[in-house]
Amino acid sequence: MTDLIAPHGGELKIRYADGETREALIEASASLKDWDLSHRQLCDLELILSGGFSPLEGFMSQADYQRVVEEMRLADGTLWPMPITLDVTPEFADTLTPGESIALRDPEGLLIAVMAVEDIWVPDKHEEAEAVFGADDPAHPGVHYLHHQAGAVYLGGPVVGINRPQHYDFTHLRHEPAELRALFEKWGWRRIVAFQTRNPMHRAHQELTFRAAQRAQANLLIHPVVGMTKPGDIDHYSRVRCYQHLLKHYPAQTTALSLLPLAMRMAGPREALWHAIIRKNHGCSHFIVGRDHAGPGKNSQGEDFYGPYDAQELVARHQDELGIEMVPFEAMVYVEEKAEYRPLSEVKPGETVLNISGTEFRRRLQEGLEIPAWFSYPEVVEELRRTHPPRHRQGFTVFFTGLSGSGKSTLANALMVKLLERGDRPVTLLDGDRVRKMLSSELGFSREHRDLNIRRIGYVAAEITKHRGVAICAPIAPYAATRKEVRRMISQYGGFIEVHVATPLEVCEARDRKGLYAKARAGLIKGFTGIDDPYEVPEEPELRIDTRDCTPDEAAQEILLKLESLGYIKN
């Protein structure tokens, strides 16, 4: 392992083993317990190993963690605002004794590092949320992750790297801190200002970064996060293609693009401080902190978690010991009369300011509306339109739910035929009975089996939706929580329209097409939905249809109208 001295302060703790040590560790790992890293843990580990998180030498000990949470400092007093811990399940933790080493593996089983477990403890997550995120509010994505995804027990201890985490995308744009520092030296870049982003960059960002570089008399490093960002963000593949287009709009040889495999926490001020330290480790001398840096949006009360310039204030307060200089920037806005961008405070009275918020931009993309040339570059917009088409070109799922005999299959078939008649997209029908034959033939009707069945349907429908087709599902799907899960799985790729086929039990039972209600009443079938197994009525479906009130044709028309009003079909 090598420690490099950075041109802008601090040593780089590179944690990869080489030669004999590596061979010996690989051999020893055969008898170690394995921990399969989550995506976030893999991102953290990659930056620990490469020195991006210097001076950390592993996942934090309890003493480091505690002081970081309380004071933003490691136990030795070094400024470090973010807990970096290895969270595991209590079951796994119970098998360990302090002093033992464990093998850290990626999802494919590749050995990434060996960790010497020194500390094992149960953290107070409420305290962590309050201190690190400023609120124990699940509306905060970092807090949500902490309570719902992170394991209950933390492990701390140094790590030694064996294999670099594998990346197959944009490999020419990925640089470890030492590589970036070497490139800066080769290019003769002495002052470098880094720009952090998790979003596509438009003209305002180009203006802001260009001005920041001028102000700092520095070269510019566009350093976007491609590890984990805020759920719902635009995927990094599309973003990187946009950054590549944008690069052409800077003067030649002044600006570079490099991708950072960071898992963001959206912790606003603390996160800004952390981002600055990471950029220092990557050899940068300056770091841009803009308005609402790493802001997570609104809290449960509908208010912003942090003030717009809280991040700048916190970084300014620690400027002297940071070893990297902040370049604070306020929002850049477009002044219509002058056809130019300016910082908000430089707008003169009477001038017209134009701005399109991120939310408004996404709406315009979704609805295929105009995005003006003053806002973004045509190549960038075209790139985003290609991967984020308007709703009428996205896929969607119509998810029928209702009692046996309520008419789900009839409606699903009628809808399928009408959509096929239109010919806009390929249509797949995942009818309850057919799914039970083709995907779930081994399953019965216990709660566990029903859930598994619905999850399988959700998975297939999500894939179809992702590929811009139409999935029509028609299972009973009696449990609200599972339907909600399926909605979440599918909505990230396109539309999810839940249709409650609300035909009352008496009517379904009177119809009893398959004779199953009679059998259920006679006790010949156990756990029959509506008889001796619950059906949880959907609270807010997109549509509720009672088949007593309309023909299948009318019901299908009603669904088509709904799809039209939501923008998924266009006449």
Catalytic residues: 197-199
DSSP state of 130: I
Give me the residues paired with residue 11 across strands.
5
Q: Which of 527, 550, 552, 557 binds ligand PPS (CB under 6 A)?
A: 527
Count CB neighbours of 215 within 10 A.
Answer: 14
267 closest CA partner among 69, 529, 101, 522: 69
Residues 397-426 that bind ligand PPS (CB under 6 A): 404-405, 409
Residue 539, CA distances (Å) to 75, 268, 406, 479, 533 in order: 50, 35, 18, 12, 19
Is the CB of 51 or the CB of 475 nearer to ligand PPS? 475
Amino acid at site 559 = I
How near is the Cβ of 472 to ligand PPS at its closest, in Å?
Answer: 13
Per CB under 6 A, does 465 bind ligand PPS?
no
Per CB under 6 A, does 529 bind ligand PPS?
yes
How near is the Cβ of 542 to ligand PPS at its closest, in Å?
Answer: 19
- Please name the residue that has the structure tokens 């398959």: 514
How near is the Cβ of 490 to ligand PPS at its closest, in Å?
Answer: 16
Binding mask 438-457 for ligand PPS (x = CB under 6 A): -------x----x--xx---
Distance of CA 166 to the CA centre of its chain: 19
Which burial class, exposed, middle or buried, applies to 523 when counting CB atoms under 10 A from its CB (0-12, 13-18, 19+)?
A: exposed
Residues 341-360 that bind ligand PPS (CB under 6 A): none
DSSP state of 314: H
Residues contacting residue 336 through CB under 8 Å, at least 6 positions apart: 351, 352, 353, 354
Count CB neighbours of 130 within 10 A.
Answer: 15
| 362, two tokens | 């996404």
Residues 533-552 that bind ligand PPS (CB under 6 A): 533
Assess contact for 165 and 261: CB atoms under 8 A.
Answer: yes
Return phi, psi of residue 162, to 5°: -110, -55
How near is the Cβ of 198 to ligand PPS at its closest, in Å?
Answer: 38
Per CB under 6 A, does 436 bind ligand PPS?
yes
Residues contacting residue 249 through CB under 8 Å, at least 6 positions apart: 206, 377
132 closest CA partner among 230, 295, 8, 268: 268
Q: Which of 153, 272, 477, 543 binds ligand PPS (CB under 6 A)?
A: 477
501 closest CA partner among 397, 396, 399, 407: 407
Is the CB of 202 or the CB of 408 nearer to ligand PPS? 408
Report the alpha-carbon distance of residue 169 to residue 344 in Å, rounded.
Answer: 37
How near is the Cβ of 496 to ligand PPS at its closest, in Å?
Answer: 17
Is the CB of 386 or the CB of 513 nearer to ligand PPS? 513
Query: Closest residue to ligand PPS, Cβ-based?
Result: 432
How near is the Cβ of 481 to ligand PPS at its closest, in Å?
Answer: 13
Total number of residues shown for the chain: 571
How near is the Cβ of 432 to ligand PPS at its closest, in Å?
Answer: 3
How near is the Cβ of 531 to ligand PPS at its closest, in Å?
Answer: 8
Per CB under 6 A, does 516 bind ligand PPS?
yes
Only one of the segments 112-120, 145-153, 260-268, 430-438 lies at the binding site for ligand PPS (rule: CB under 6 A); that segment is 430-438
Q: Which of 173, 356, 525, 560 binds ligand PPS (CB under 6 A)?
A: 525
Q: Which of 475, 494, 495, 541 binds ligand PPS (CB under 6 A)?
A: 475
How near is the Cβ of 342 to ligand PPS at its closest, in Å?
Answer: 58
Only one of the segments 338-346, 472-480, 494-502, 562-570 lies at the binding site for ligand PPS (rule: CB under 6 A); that segment is 472-480
Is the CB of 110 or the CB of 452 nearer to ligand PPS? 452
Residues contacting residue 359 through CB under 8 Å, at least 6 positions apart: none
Per CB under 6 A, does 154 bind ligand PPS?
no
Maximum CA pair distance of the chain? 86
Residues 279-338 that bind ligand PPS (CB under 6 A): none
Is the CB of 62 or the CB of 428 nearer to ligand PPS? 428
Is the CB of 240 or the CB of 489 nearer to ligand PPS? 489
Assess contact for 542 and 564: CB atoms under 8 A.
Answer: no
Count of positions on this chain that bind ligand PPS (CB under 6 A) = 21
Is the CB of 281 or the CB of 453 nearer to ligand PPS? 453
Which burial class, exposed, middle or buried, applies to 525 when counting CB atoms under 10 A from its CB (0-12, 13-18, 19+)?
A: middle
- Please name the residue that has the structure tokens 């997570």: 296
Question: Site residues (CB under 6 A) for ligand PPS?
Answer: 404-405, 409, 432-433, 436, 445, 450, 453-454, 475-478, 514, 516, 525, 527-529, 533
